[in-house]
Amino acid sequence: MPFTRTLIAALLVAPVGTAFADVVQLADRALFNQQGTIAVTSNFDDFAPSVTTLNGQFYRGDIAYKDTAVFGKNSPYVSPHRNTIGTKNLPPSEMVLAPGTRYSLLGFDTAVEAAAPVTFVMTTNLGKFSFPDVSLPSGKEAIVFKGFATTKPGEYFISFLITTPDDYIGITDISLGNIAPTAGAGAAAKKP
């Protein structure tokens, strides 16, 4: 029982509004870029403007994509504005950062075929963080930026997952980098 009382006492004296999240979301690319140094950028503009199915694993820009496709801007999926890599999330495909990388910044432009809420699940070496019910526009209208940054020294991204109830989703203009020691802003994450 002493442990229970101590834990309850510690919770009662914790300051209200203290964030314990290790990942924050940034919705503005300029603000994201100001957080540190971008080391790797990648997109899929070199693919045909139709659909290109990528079976198995495909590597680009320090990320491994599994069982995905590049939805060209002339395909009926995601966006007529840019080629995007993605999937129809049944089941969703996790994107894994290359072994040995230690990026604390991860951002990309994204959209879905029809406007819908999605969930971003960001996995770091210290935990898994969920950003549920994030509204994304139809790719036919716009592609929007979503960025994520770790907040703890030594924390880095291992993988990320984007889920949607039943729609095609795509990303492009992926940026990976490292946060500056004094930077840090965004919306707190919830652990799943």
- Report yes or no on whether pTM surpasses 0.85: no
Residue 12, helix vs strand vs coil: helix
pLDDT: which is higher, 164 or 106: 106
Residue 173, helix vs strand vs coil: strand
Q: pLDDT confidence of 16, banded at 50, 70, 90? A: very low
Torsion angles phi and psi, residue 75, rounded to 5: -80, 160
Task: Yes or no: say if 149 and 7 are a contact pair by the CB < 8 Å rule.
Answer: no
Lowest mean pLDDT among 123-127, 135-139, 145-149: 135-139
Average pLDDT of span 100-107: 96
**pLDDT tops 60 at residue 12:** no
Burial 107-129 (b: 16+ CB within 10 A, else e): bbbbbbbeebebbbbbbbeeebb
Task: Yes or no: say if 34 and 183 are a contact pair by the CB < 8 Å rule.
Answer: yes
Residue 81 has a pLDDT of: 85
Q: pLDDT confidence of 88, banded at 50, 70, 90? A: low
Lowest mean pLDDT among 19-23, 42-46, 58-62, 166-170: 19-23
Average pLDDT of span 62-78: 88
Integer CA distances (angstroms), 131 to 76, 83, 146, 147, 163, in order: 28, 25, 11, 12, 10
Mean pLDDT, the chain, rounded, equals 81
**pLDDT tops 80 at residue 185:** no
Domains annotated for the chain, with CATH where assigned, are 22-181 (2.60.120)
Q: pLDDT confidence of 4, banded at 50, 70, 90? A: very low
The DSSP line for 107-170 is: EEEEEESS-EEEEEEEEETTEEEEEEEEEE-BTTT--EEEEEEE-STT--EEEEEEE-SS-EEE
Residue 77 has a pLDDT of: 84
